[in-house]
Amino acid sequence: MNTYKGNIILLTIVSILSVVSLYVLAEMHLISVNLIYVSTILTLLIESILALTLMKQRKHMNLLKHSDDDDEHKQYLKLRCHTGMIMKWIFVVSLLNVALITFMNQMSIIAIVGMILPFVLHQFISIWNAKTIYKDNSTPHAPNQGSPLLAIDEGERYMSLKSLLTTYVISIIALVMGIAVLTIYSITTHNNQSFSILIMIIVYALITLSYSSNISKSYREM
């Protein structure tokens, strides 16, 4: 599993470096290329690769979920965690595309479409993933989407858990809204805020991926 996560991280880093290298070469007038097209196409390509990885995992999960073997059931739970991590990576890649296009400071209809397209693909993948992953209610470790947190444990433990989960959700929503506001501000005022956007994306990635990693670690220790 470590190799699996490492491959996703490596794919993302290489892709980002590729776009940044193209930008530097274009600024030095060594190449002539529309970087908005390159960034958007590369982002969609990364998301497609991650989506195919997700589909492959889902197929493997379907083979494991009906098994009575404890080891295979644990493997199934681990794969469920990794599907969530893939979805978060797809969203992070979409945000990075926004930061790169903003950094290019070439705002136009094409640039706006280039920002939106990866999020549209992300939504389609999210809808498909939500419909498939929540069909199986066989495990108590993964409640249905939108179901309330039950007060199984009374007292401070329950209150702390609920507070932490609420804080996590609010933080993620606030970060995404902040990125959206800064992007709109950059477009409308031509005041490039790509550095601030990039910092917020890094914070978003650290929070969401750390959350998924800790859940995955808990399943590995079962």
The DSSP string of 57-99 is HHHHHHHHTT---HHHHHHHHHHHHHHHHHHHHHHHHHHHHHH
109 domain residue, yes or no: yes
Shared domain check, 174 and 105: no
Among 114, 135, 156, the domain-final residue is 135
Amino acid 192: pLDDT: 74
Which pLDDT score is estimated for 134? 57
Confidence of residue 80 (pLDDT cuts 50, 70, 90): low
- The whole-number pLDDT of residue 197 equals 79
pTM of the model as a whole:
0.55
Give the residue, 10 or 36, on which the prediction is more confident: 36
Residue 97 in this model has a pLDDT that exceeds 50:
yes
178-185 mean pLDDT:
84
Q: Which of 69, 104, 135 is the last residue of a domain?
A: 135
User: Are both 159 and 124 inside the same structural domain?
Assistant: no
Where is average pLDDT lowest: 2-16, 115-129, 198-212? 2-16
Residues 43 and 67 in one domain: yes
| pLDDT value at residue 31 | 47
Three-class DSSP category at 142: coil
Would you say residue 73 lies in a domain? Answer: yes
Residue 206 neighbours by CB under 8 Å, 6+ apart: none
Q: Would you say residue 91 has pLDDT above 60?
A: yes
User: Residue 76 in contact with residue 64, Cβ under 8 Å?
Assistant: yes
What average pLDDT does the segment 175-193 reach? 82
Residue from 173, 4, 207, 43 nearest 121 by CA: 43
Instruction: Label residue 138 by pLDDT band (50, 70, 90).
Output: very low
Q: What is the pLDDT of residue 34?
A: 66
Domain boundary among 75, 110, 135: 135
Report the number of distinct structural domains present in the chain. 2
Residue 66 belongs to domain spanning: 1-135
Per-residue pLDDT at 28 exceeds 70: no
Kindly state the average pLDDT of the residues 50-75: 68
Residue 185 lies in a domain: yes
What does the pLDDT average to over 117-131?
Answer: 76
Query: Looking at the predicted structure, is the pLDDT value of residue 146 above 60?
Result: no
Task: Return the percentage of the chain with pLDDT > 90, whole number.
Answer: 0
Residue 78 covered by a domain: yes
Mean pLDDT of 211-219: 66
Q: What's the Rg (C-alpha) of the chain?
A: 20
pLDDT at 20: 63
